[in-house]
Structure 1
Amino acid sequence: MTTPEQNKALVLEAFDALFNKRDYVAAEDFWSERYIQHSAHIAPGRAGLFGLVRSLPDTLRYEHQFVLAEGDHVMLYGRFSGQGSPAASVAADVVRMENGKLAEHWDVLQDEATHAESASGLPMFGDHFPPDR
């Protein structure tokens, strides 16, 4: 059994290994072979996720703003940038852990708004807006 604190650390390390370092061998140790993918943007399983990341530019980066955990679920709020589109994607990712591995995933993605696009006048991520596109 892992604690919520251990789960948070594992998920952050997993996201860094896959999205920032592109270390697929290390990522295999974090993602379950029976990984279940609920995202509308990613093909099924661990192979679908790894295939998507392989297809994206090497400039892809993930940074998190906060991470929450309860029991075997971890929620990240973060930003994917450098993925080849004009806007970064702000994401809420929910991961279910099982036996110390990422076993199941859900996400909500939205293009990051510039200051001109923000109805609230506040940035979606961090304390400043991205440059206008």
Structure 2
Amino acid sequence: MSQTRQGRNKALVLEAFDTLFNKRDYVAAERYWSPRYIQHSAHIAPGREGLFDLIRSLPATLKYEPGVIVADGDFVIVHGRFSGFGAPANWIAADILRIQDGILVEHWDVIQDEATEEQSKSKAPMFGSSFPTCVTSDNVSESHMR
């Protein structure tokens, strides 16, 4: 059975994010991001090299965890958590990507600091099924399953 376009696009985004953010394999990541990649994020310099340079500048402890992922045509939205990058709080992000001919060509994001249980008015975690339990001295958040 052949995979749908949306299924292929979701798999592409997950593989691309793991390759760049977790494995930090920049050579392999080039096959996922277009050389003419359009970056709409306000905190990332233009193009593929802007993104790659940002990741190169972050600590090796950077981790990306995908959560909910949806696709519609050439667009994929993935809700995920960025941790271990040196900030006081993890980032919960909704990354929106446009895919053309099997490559990431455009990106937007919405980013929010992850709330602890004490900070959350809803008392529901922003990502997954548990809250981050603490932020360690090197700003790597730890979490546990409840």
TM-score relative to the length of structure 2: 0.88
Displacement of 1:29: 0.3
Q: Does 1:90 align with 2:92?
A: yes
Displacement of 1:132: 4.1
Could you tell me which residue of structure 2 aligns to residue 100 of structure 1? 102
- Structure 2 distance, partners of 1:120, 1:132, is 19
- Structure 2 distance, partners of 1:128, 1:79, is 12
Could you tell me which residue of structure 2 aligns to residue 131 of structure 1? 133
Instruction: Extract unaligned runs of 5+ from structure 1.
Output: none
Runs of 4 or more off by more than 4 Å in structure 1? none
Instruction: Report the secondary structure of 2:108's partner residue.
Output: strand
Q: Which has the higher contact order (CA 8 A, sep 6+)?
A: 1
- Deviations 1:84-126 (CA, angstroms, capped at 9, x unpaired): 1121100000000011000000001111000010011111011
Q: Does 1:41 align with 2:49?
A: no
Instruction: Extract unaligned runs of 5+ from structure 2.
Output: 136-146
- Structure 2 distance, partners of 1:6, 1:122, is 31
Could you tell me which residue of structure 2 aligns to residue 23 of structure 1? 25
Displacement of 1:131: 1.6
- Structure 2 distance, partners of 1:67, 1:17, is 17
Displacement of 1:40: 0.7
**Count of paired positions:** 132
Which of the two has higher C-alpha Rg?
Answer: 2
Aligned-partner residue type, residue 47 of structure 1: E
Could you tell me which residue of structure 1 aligns to residue 81 of structure 2? 79
- Structure 2 distance, partners of 1:21, 1:95, is 20
- Structure 2 distance, partners of 1:103, 1:4, is 16
* Percent of aligned pairs with the same amino acid: 64
Conserved in 2, the CA contact under 8 Å of 1:115 and 1:132? no
- Structure 2 distance, partners of 1:9, 1:121, is 32
1:66 to 53, 63, 68: 68
- Structure 2 distance, partners of 1:100, 1:33, is 13
- Structure 1 distance, partners of 2:84, 2:97, is 23
